[in-house]
Structure 1
């Protein structure tokens, strides 16, 4: 399971937000009843919030009280009823294995109340999406990268680079040691010191300088990324590979919420694949692996599959 999410009710990074948001967007598209169910709880949410607010609880605390407190710690009956109904909602749509979804549901209701209900009670057009309820708390270690590691491609003049390495020219192997280090490019730009790499037409042609600049920029990007990722891993964080296939989020939504089997999903998407698609078709094993992988990213325990796993089905060609 992804270490960047927690069943205690918090997300700690933006990578997890991406997975949860894409999943809930897919849920809202293929199973709008999930969102509709939550909207029926809006009056109860409003009543519970008003009661808890009268007791001096800030709004942020109210959400956590309802989502995370033990039953005997919730003193207001309406708040307890709301929590019970949210648990029924999560169980109905097989989201109950990760308590974060109850927290997201509460934040969704809060967004609806603050941005839809209070602004336009007459028409009550709900623009808030399920994914608007996905929130996170950024850990100090992985916050404010703009201050920690700003992207500053400000390479030192070649003469300084050579002096640091005590070498004569760019062909010396040790030259690459410094141009592959991110800090080598981040010379401070101040009024007192504006000592930067520059093109000297009397020393290099533009082609020669341009080739050097391109090489150094590619080196800096690579070194910059490596330094940031090493910092994250040193502190126990590892960015999950972002899934590029939006279809995987649809598959898990159809499997987990609509109750479709892997084979049903594979057959449907094979039959409806575009003719210009590079994929010849999908099989149930492909769907199974994608759903299992995506489930691990959003902390869901998958329901048992009741369908079979057919052999690969190819698209018909015109």
Structure 2
């Protein structure tokens, strides 16, 4: 079982501060399934989290985003000498304690930090929808006197009104799962924006490669440098373009094909080496969705195995005849382990 720690990413790979690896898509899928199940089965949890959003003020935002690393946010809020941060910390602490997502109940600060990020994402969404300036939330920056006609005081008042309107319309949507997108180790954005390197061959030396005497294999450094190049491949590279005045198309095509195959193999080698070093596993979540629903009923709603079994029969959640208490009892610690939650309560 995982120790007390925090989900995070560093240059050595995906981990929980070396205590428990978040090293596959299965971990991300498990946490997502848990949070979405909680939102569905305990909707009041989201409503109460939305009520906390007005406490996420520019002062709180500036304090959090000025501090690095973010896995220390909760400890920062607990000790910082600032009234607005204290209000936010106190409100979120009571919420997390009520729904058993605090450190005592989970053995990790991860779910508190996901909650902070979920609220921050929601508040920024409300600001975006209402054309309110986000500059007042900016970290490590001089607070502007006015942005687009808004002083900070005027912006705060407009934001509070916008949050009230958003609560009535339920738009934009608040979701705990959005907190995952702001947690680097769990974010799909890591693989979209921060991948080891992207597949962007540029091939500056196609023309020299056409001549057999000048041909060479690409090395890893060439592949990485090529992949990080901001220029568009081929059409912005003079030496990588086909010149009908002096090039034979068949020779040019063969040279590009050879370079491309070489680049592709080097790219594959580099990706697999990154995967090996970061201990990232290619696996998908095998646990059934209803098992996460059982865990929500057990951990968040505090139901016994027998109560969960009866609830499933009454609600027909799994589309069958429910599940026996012993079956549920066996699954709970397995789900807890996937979620990085301490087993001391199971």
Instruction: Give the TM-score taking structure 2 as reference length.
Output: 0.54
Q: Is contact 1:229–1:238 with CA below 8 Å preserved after alignment?
A: no
- What stretches of structure 1 of length at least 5 have no aligned partner? 151-188, 196-224, 306-318
Q: Is contact 2:31–2:339 with CA below 8 Å preserved after alignment?
A: yes
Cα distance per residue 1:170-219 (max 9 Å; x no partner): xxxxxxxxxxxxxxxxxxx9651537xxxxxxxxxxxxxxxxxxxxxxxx
Structure 1 position 48, deviation (Å):
3.8
* CA–CA distance in structure 2, aligned partners of residues 240 and 289 of structure 1: 22
Q: 1:265 to 1:303 in 2, by over 3 A?
A: farther
Please tell me the root mean square deviation across aligned C-alpha atoms, in Å. Answer: 4.2
For 1:130, what is the secondary structure of its paired residue? coil
- 1:108 corresponds in structure 2 to 118
Match of residue 291, structure 1, among 332, 335, 345: 332
Q: 1:70 to 1:146 in 2, by over 3 A?
A: closer
User: Is 1:71 equivalent to 2:116 in the alignment?
Assistant: no
* CA–CA distance in structure 2, aligned partners of residues 281 and 112 of structure 1: 36
- 2:99 corresponds in structure 1 to 93
* CA–CA distance in structure 1, aligned partners of residues 34 and 69 of structure 2: 26
- In the TM superposition, what are the counterparts of 1:178-217 in structure 2 within 5 Å? 191-194=254-257
Q: Is contact 1:2–1:298 with CA below 8 Å preserved after alignment?
A: no
* CA–CA distance in structure 2, aligned partners of residues 239 and 255 of structure 1: 30
Q: 1:119 to 1:191 in 2, by over 3 A?
A: same
- 1:7 corresponds in structure 2 to 5
- In the TM superposition, what are the counterparts of 1:36-75 in structure 2 within 5 Å? 36-46=47-57, 48-49=59-60, 52=62, 58=65, 66-69=73-76, 71-72=78-79, 74-75=80-81
- Which protein has greater RCO, CA pairs closer than 8 Å, 6+ apart? 2
- 1:136 corresponds in structure 2 to 183
Q: Is contact 2:6–2:71 with CA below 8 Å preserved after alignment?
A: no
Structure 1 position 10, deviation (Å):
2.6
- What stretches of structure 2 of length at least 5 have no aligned partner? 15-21, 131-161, 202-251, 259-267
Structure 1 position 262, deviation (Å):
1.3
For 1:300, what is the secondary structure of its paired residue? coil
- 1:268 corresponds in structure 2 to 311
For 1:194, what is the secondary structure of its paired residue? helix
Match of residue 129, structure 2, among 119, 143, 150: 119
Structure 1 position 274, deviation (Å):
8.5
- 2:33 corresponds in structure 1 to 22
Q: 1:232 to 1:26 in 2, by over 3 A?
A: same
* CA–CA distance in structure 2, aligned partners of residues 92 and 291 of structure 1: 20
More helix by share: 2
For 1:293, what is the secondary structure of its paired residue? helix
Q: Is contact 1:45–1:109 with CA below 8 Å preserved after alignment?
A: yes
Structure 1 position 75, deviation (Å):
2.7
Structure 1 position 243, deviation (Å):
3.3
- 1:247 corresponds in structure 2 to 290
Which has more radius of gyration? 1
Q: Is contact 2:337–2:343 with CA below 8 Å preserved after alignment?
A: no
* CA–CA distance in structure 2, aligned partners of residues 274 and 137 of structure 1: 33
